[in-house]
Structures are given as C-alpha cells and as structure tokens.
C-alpha cells in the first residue's frame, strides 16, 4: 500500500473518529446535565454526576461532577484534531489524484520529419518528512490513551451506578422472593436505568449548600431535571462510541507507524 492509499485511509479514519467523538460528547453530556440538579444532594461537595452514583439512607446521590466533565470533555480534543487532520490528509489525497495540464513539444528529426510529443505529469505532493509524521504519531497515541481512560471511567461509572441503584431498588421497594431475584440477577442495566427515569423525583425541594455563595436569596428555586429521557440508552451509546473510537485511533496510530517504518531511516530516507 502506497503513501496515497495510506493517506486516503487516514482521512477516512479521522472522519469516522470525528463522528464518534461527537456522538460521545452529546450522549454523555445529555444524561449528566439532565440529572445534575436532582442527584446533587451532597452538602459539602458537587455530586451531580450520573456516573458512580451511591445510595444513602435517604436519597440516591450522584458521583463527583468532575468525573462527568472529564468523561465528556475528553472527546472534545479528539473531535477537533480529527477534523483538522481529516481535512489535511483529504487535501493531500486530492493533490495526488489531480493531473497537470499536458505539455506538447515538437521535435524535428534528422530526416526532416516533425514529431509531436505529449507529456502527462501528475501533481504529487512532497512527503512532509520525519518531523511531521513523528508529531502526528505522538499526537494520535496521546489521544488514544486519553480516550481509553475516558472510556474506562464511562464504563465503570455506568455499571457502578447501575449496581447501586439495583440494590436501592430492591431495598426501597421491599420486594422479596423471585421478584427480588429478578431485579438482582436478571434485569439489565438498561432496565435499571429505566426504573430510575420513572421512579426518581422530577423536582427536589431547594436546599442550601456549603459550596454555593447565595448572594440573591430571591433567586432560590427548587431543583428540576426536565422531561423524561432514556438515560440507559444514552449512556450505552456514549460507551459504545468511545470504545469504537479507541479502536479507530489505534488504527490511525498503526498507520502512522507503518508510514514512518517505510521512510527508511525516517529523517534521512524517502518514502
């Protein structure tokens, strides 16, 4: 596979990565912003994250809000870089495929005949060199590691909240026997989050918190979470897209490694 084919593949992979990053950002931001006010029942900390929720004696609390910020915002640099590099590689691929205007030359032979010679040349962009490829491979590796960490937080936090709410649901509903066994052993996390969507309060009475400076008491209001959403499906879409994105960026990293390997000494060779 030549350099042109590699760059075509890279342009495609970056386009896919940008789309997956956008899906992750939207599908992770929607549920935690939806639940932030309702789950933020801690007095001295911000615990409005839908990930890593915990059941207390009275209410169901969310996890540390910084976890949700990280899980969502980690895909933002991946999205921006993917857009920029997709345009870069796409431009270089287009340069490969264009032909310059043909040139015609007339040559007079010894016998007096005139020969017409037509020359076609392709516009081939120069290899950007070792520094460019090395920078791109380091950048792709960094994004890949960042996405893997983000995906791990999303996945583990999703199942942590699911497990906590499963136990809370079994305890608060006071069911026993086979019904309790069904909740604890058979219901999927998607179904558990469906219970959460419909059983948790839509509004919660206003309560003062230590970490908020209330300078305008007249603006105090009850906490609300808005209309119903499919929390489980949204989080599952975010988890699936971010893990697939990890695979895409791994493929990008491998492609850059192959390009550098074919450079034959990189800085001193040509591809």
Q: CB burial class (10 A; 0-12, 13-18, 19+) of residue 259? A: buried
Q: Could you tell me if 29 and 72 are in contact, meaning their C-beta atoms sit under 8 angstroms apart?
A: yes
pTM of the model: 0.81
| pLDDT higher than threshold 60 for residue 241 | yes
Average pLDDT, the chain: 81
The first and second tokens of residue 113, run together, are: 């005949």
Q: What is the dihedral of CA 33, 34, 38, 41, to 10 degrees?
A: -20
Q: What angle do CA 235, 238, 244 make, to 5 degrees?
A: 140
The pLDDT value recorded for residue 211 is 60
For 5-25, write each residue's pLDDT tens digit: 788 889 999 999 999 999 999
Cα distance from N-terminal residue to C-terminal residue, the chain:
12
Cβ atoms of 63 and 36 within 8 Å: the answer is: no
DSSP H/E element including 251: helix 231-262
State mean pLDDT over 222-233.
86
Neighbours of 45 (CB within 10 A): 13
pLDDT tens, position by position, 61-82: 889 999 999 999 999 999 999 9
207 vs 239, more confident = 239
Instruction: Give the model confidence (pLDDT) of 100-130 as tens digits.
Output: 545 555 555 566 565 555 555 555 555 665 6
Helix axes 231-262, 189-199, angle to 10 degrees: 130
Q: Are 71 and 157 in contact (CB under 8 A)?
A: yes
For residue 222, the SS3 value is coil
Place of tokens 């969507």: 197
Please give the sequence-ordered ranges of beta strands (E in DSSP) within the chain, or none if there are none: 49-55, 60-63, 103-108, 114-119, 203-204, 223-224
Over 90: is that where the pLDDT of 156 sits? yes
> CA angle 5-266-148, nearest 5°?
65
Percent of the chain topping pLDDT 90: 41
| The pLDDT of residue 160 is above 60 | yes
For 31, 45, 206, the CA distances from 223, given in Å and listed in that order, are 16, 16, 6
């Amino acid at each position: 596979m030549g350099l042109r084919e590699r760059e075509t593949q890279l342009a495609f992979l970056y386009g896919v990565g940008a789309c997956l990053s956008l899906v992750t950002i939207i599908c992770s931001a929607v549920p935690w912003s939806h639940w932030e006010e309702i789950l933020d029942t801690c007095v001295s900390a911000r615990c409005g994250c839908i990930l890593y929720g915990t059941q207390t004696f009275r209410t169901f609390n969310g996890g540390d809000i910084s976890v949700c910020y990280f899980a969502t915002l980690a895909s933002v640099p991946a999205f921006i870089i993917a857009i920029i590099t997709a345009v870069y590689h796409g431009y270089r691929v287009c340069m490969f495929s264009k032909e310059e205007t043909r040139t015609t030359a007339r040559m007079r032979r010894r016998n007096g005949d005139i020969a017409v010679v037509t020359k076609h040349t392709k516009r081939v962009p120069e290899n950007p060199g070792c520094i460019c490829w090395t920078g791109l491979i380091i950048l792709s590796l960094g994004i890949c590691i960042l996405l893997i960490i983000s995906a791990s937080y999303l996945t583990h936090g999703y199942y942590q909240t699911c497990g906590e709410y499963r136990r809370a649901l079994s305890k608060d509903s006071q069911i026993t026997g086979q019904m309790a066994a069904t909740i604890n052993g058979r219901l999927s996390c998607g179904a558990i989050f469906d219970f959460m969507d419909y059983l948790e309060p839509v509004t919660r009475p206003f309560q003062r918190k230590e970490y908020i400076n209330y300078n305008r008491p007249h603006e105090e209001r009850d906490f609300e979470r808005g209309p119903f959403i499919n929390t489980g499906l949204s989080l599952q879409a975010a988890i699936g897209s971010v893990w697939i994105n990890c695979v895409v960026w791994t493929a990008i990293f491998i492609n850059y490694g192959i390009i550098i390997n074919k450079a034959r000494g990189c800085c001193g060779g040509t591809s």
